[in-house]
Amino acid sequence: MNLQEYQSKAILRKAGIPVPASMLATNAVQIKRIATEIGYPIVLKAQTPEPGRGKAGGVRIIHSDHEIEYISNEIFKIVLNGRSIQSILVEKAFSFVKEYYLALLSDFDKGTPILRISEAGGATCLEPDSFSNAKTYECPIDINFGLKEYEVRNLVTKLDGEASLWKQFQRISLKLFDIYRQLDASMVEINSLVVTHQNQLYALDTKMNIDDQSLFRHEEFAETCQPSNQNFAKKQARKFNINYFDFPGNLGFVVNGMGLAYLTLDKLTQENLIPGPIIDIQEGPSSGSIATMAELLFSDPKIYAVVVDVFGGMTRCDELAEGLLLAEGKNLQHKPVFIRLKGTNAEKGKKMLQSRDYFSFYETTENLMNAAIKYLGELG
């Protein structure tokens, strides 16, 4: 789950990491009031978890009152990946002499967090091969012992910059690691970390990503980041205690237990295909909960067909069937559903679904997947 900038800035500020003065606004009147308080020039920053706000015109410098209404209205008109801008961060603008990149990142290949420091700060680090073309240094961190002062010192002394900055880098890096651990984060990034004319480090922009599986420990963000940060499907899945995995393919899945999911995914992999969203109902949700989640698959335009592979246990097959019927009843564009039901009340579930000619039934996972893959192939 990506936090929005204003939330991440508040976390940095609370930790004692220098950030520019800023306040959140939802209309031009509020922006004018904030600008009067913090003084011009100001920067208006569209608040969204989606990438690309800068290129879309969502970050603008303002020098006077008479610019605010027009420019803020332009920002509020921006839509990124279907999401409109609901708020703008009004921030004090100031000049700087150099930019750096600083981040705590989860290296999933190595199974450890890493500290990365680079001179490819700001927009520069968004360019291809930016880190390989600039001085960039990393060190793995032993999660049991945490980030040590000497580890930061070993990195920052390699950068171009005055020695007076080293202590600041060290202090900010250690605080950033504390944030990383406390948030159960996969990424805590400052880009850019700038050097002011007074030789002070300030965090001009920041991004933070919290591991979805740890949101039960961070309820304050689970609510405030919805629905702008996480899609509706993930919000509903957490509500119903259902596992939801969002993949970009065109074939949606309803399974109970990732063992079954892996069997179906193996077949897709053999055909060089990518799965679509996977709904895992292994915890025994109600038919109403299943209906809400299945409806998301049926109504998603990128999903061409749905595979249901369930062994009834905590969730009986007739409960699943009831949920599927509730979901498809709300969807006007009926999609093929390839179904394999085994276990508790499997025959009852099949009888409930057999009246739908776009539901087809299979005895084995292999036959189920062969039919679904064949259908996708016929679509081209």
Which pLDDT value is given to residue 33?
A: 94
Q: How far is CA 25 from CA 76, 128, 172, in A?
A: 11, 34, 28
Which pLDDT value is given to residue 361?
A: 95
User: Which CATH number fits the domain 231-379, given the four candidates 3.40.30.10, 3.40.50.261, 3.40.50.2000, 3.40.50.1360?
Assistant: 3.40.50.261
Distance CA 166, CA 100 (A): 13
Domains 21-92 and 98-217 share a fold: no
Distance CA 72, CA 31 (A): 8
In the chain, what is the straight-line distance between the N-terminal and C-terminal CA atoms, in Å? 34
Which pLDDT value is given to residue 127?
A: 47
Which pLDDT value is given to residue 2?
A: 84
Q: For residue 289, say if its preceding peptide bond is cis, omega within 30 degrees of 0.
A: no
Which pLDDT value is given to residue 261?
A: 74
Divide the 380 residues of the chain into consecutive groups of 10 and give the mean pLDDT of each group.
90 96 94 94 92 91 94 93 88 92 90 91 54 79 93 89 86 96 93 93 93 73 49 64 80 83 79 86 78 81 89 86 84 80 93 89 92 87
Cβ atoms of 256 and 281 within 8 Å: the answer is yes
Distance CA 341, CA 363 (A): 8
* Phi, psi (rounded to 5 degrees) for 301: -65, -20
| Domain boundaries, given as residue ranges, for the chain | 21-92, 98-217, 231-379
| Fold classification of 98-217 (topology level) | D-amino Acid Aminotransferase; Chain A, domain 1 (3.30.470)
pTM of the prediction? Answer: 0.63
Residue 189: helix, strand or coil by DSSP?
A: strand
Which pLDDT value is given to residue 274?
A: 85
CATH class of segment(s) 21-92: alpha beta
Cβ atoms of 270 and 276 within 8 Å: the answer is no
Which pLDDT value is given to residue 18?
A: 96
Distance CA 58, CA 79 (A): 10
